[in-house]
Structure 1
């Protein structure tokens, strides 16, 4: 993958976490230190899940070598379509969960895991195309950390609707990356 593709992929994988962070920021009104801590949790989890998906993909790669580009396209397309669909779901800016202490930490981790499942699917696709998963996972994790921290601070000021726009753009980007992988492996882009 090119550096531009990795950057776009990292941004795309981070947009659902960003959207969730905007919502959490709107609900909890965090300070800077809290936003950074939440960003670290999201970034670490989002960086680990592509590695898990990649490991699963390596196990299956030998069986699906002839159609790996179709699988990568399908996975990225499905995740992108899911993100597009979610970006059109209504937002409830009035919902402000009241959680404290251990429950707040569990809710944060559950949200981070929930938003990172798509990164595991992308990791599977990366195994099929032989991409440098360590670089990709690090970029996804770092980008998620930065965007989640910023998202929480933005959410404090503007609410959750802005996160939906980011999620929509991320979905479109993932579909385009999937199409580019398919086009490259099918020879549609020329030599």
Structure 2
């Protein structure tokens, strides 16, 4: 009986130690993999900003992060107001559209315009450029970077270098009516 008093706690310790150890090792392996992936992204020197295009015709993000400014909330998202960048910084914008509507009724893109662009004229011309995914070909000199259109469930991206000249560069969604509804913001190069 005396042996059982010592044997039971010992068996419990061995059982829990063995079971917990493999979980700890798996957790450490997962953390190492995540850290390696983050390091690879950091080493590329490209900052990635993940944006969601929503049915309310707004650019949104899942959470606050360095280098972006957000406004109010809409559902599970924060409304994106602006992005800050250093002159010459490389930025990747990844845009995902969340919508159940057909792409002909609801699609989004990200178009970054030059400092001297006439935004209203650009958006008006874009609404007539359906055959070119609402990117007016004759105004390409006013575009720094743009994505393709993304319908519901689709993701598009563009990588660009922030201009060297400091200032407030506007970005818009050029799908008809979206700019007027507030699907716009500024890239603040400072």
TM bucket, shorter chain: under 0.3
TM norm structure 1: 0.24
The structure with the largest helix share of the pair is: 1
TM norm structure 2: 0.24
User: Greater relative contact order: 1 or 2 (C-alpha under 8 angstroms, separation 6 or more)?
Assistant: 1
The structure with the largest strand share of the pair is: 2
